[in-house]
Amino acid sequence: WKKMCDIHFKGPNVMITGTPGTGKTTLCSQLVEQTGLNLISIGELAKDNNFYGEYDSELQSYELDEDKVIDEIDECMKEGGNVVDYHGCDFFPERWFDAVFVLRTDNTVLYERLEKRNYSQRKIQENVQCEIMRVVLDEALDSYKSEIVYELESDTPDHMEQNLATIKNWIEKWKSEHRQ
Ligand code: DAT
């Protein structure tokens, strides 16, 4: 009985994280289309519900009201079967996730992607620095057991295809191990 309760009955919860521009949105949209899992984009959720705190002039963006985000999606996460897309991962309850995939991109490639977004030079530099310093990967490794953290290279369309296949395989394996 205890074991049954520990299992997310709709499937695993998967986190897709990485510096802005590494390909989370693109990957997640294909992943949910191909697996039927439920997409939770934390950025969209915050925008739709105005889950914002103070304006951070350094980062040129609003701080996220993390408590409101957690309250809003906790029930859904308890049931399982979700793909969560966000550029940070340290404030979520550790128990939510069965796997955390961290997308990584070469600095030159990332720079070019962010330039196309009309970000200011400062914001581009900050994000590229964040990627060089592997901030999000370290955050994932500090917040979750290393066995569930996977680093995926996301520089080219071929990488995107490979990453999709890797994550889909991981989901199938999880389901077979949990008899779903
Ligand atoms: P994120 O959601 O992490 O900010 P995105 O999915 O919006 O990133 O991708 C940013 C841009 O880069 C978008 O134009 C698609 C492109 N891109 C992302 N991953 C890629 C990859 N592996 N190969 C080629 N282009 C990619």
Supply the pTM of this predicted model. 0.95
pLDDT tier for residue 6 given thresholds of 50, 70 and 90: low
Kindly report, residue by residue over 105-119, the tens digit of the pLDDT: 999 999 999 999 989
Residue 22 marked as a ligand binder: no
pLDDT at 56: 84
Residue 179 marked as a ligand binder: no
- Which residues have any ligand 1 atom within 6 Å of their CB? 18, 20-26, 113, 154-157, 159-160
Domain 2-157: assigned CATH number:
3.40.50.300
Number of CB atoms found within 10 A of residue 73's CB: 17
Kindly report, residue by residue over 92-101, the tens digit of the pLDDT: 999 999 999 9
Residue 26 marked as a ligand binder: yes
What is the mean pLDDT of the segment spanning 133-146? 98
pLDDT tier for residue 48 given thresholds of 50, 70 and 90: very high
Give ipTM to 2 decimals: 0.99
Q: Identify the residue whose tokens are 């990627």.
A: 131
For residues 16 and 1, give the distance between their C-alpha atoms in angstroms, rounded to a whole number: 30
DSSP string, 32-75: HHHH-PEEEEHHHHHHHHT-EEEEETTTTEEEE-HHHHHHHHHH
**What is the whole-number distance in angstroms between the Cα of residue 29 and the centre of ligand 1?**
11
Q: What atom in ligand 1 is closest to the CA of residue 155?
A: 22
53, HSE (Cβ side, Cα atoms, 13 Å): 8
Enumerate the β-bridge partners of residue 102.
Answer: 17, 151
Nearest CA owner, ligand 1 atom 9: 23
At residue 118's C-alpha, the angle toward residues 113 and 120, to 5°, is 100
Q: What atom in ligand 1 is closest to the CA of residue 18?
A: 3
What is the mean pLDDT of the segment spanning 21-42? 98
Kindly report, residue by residue over 72-91, the tens digit of the pLDDT: 999 999 999 999 999 999 99
Pocket test for ligand 1, best of 15, 113, 124 (most atoms within 8 A of CB): 113
Which of the pair, 130 or 179, is modelled with greater confidence? 130
Nearest CA owner, ligand 1 atom 17: 23
Distance set, CA 157 to CA 20, 22, 83 (Å): 17, 12, 21
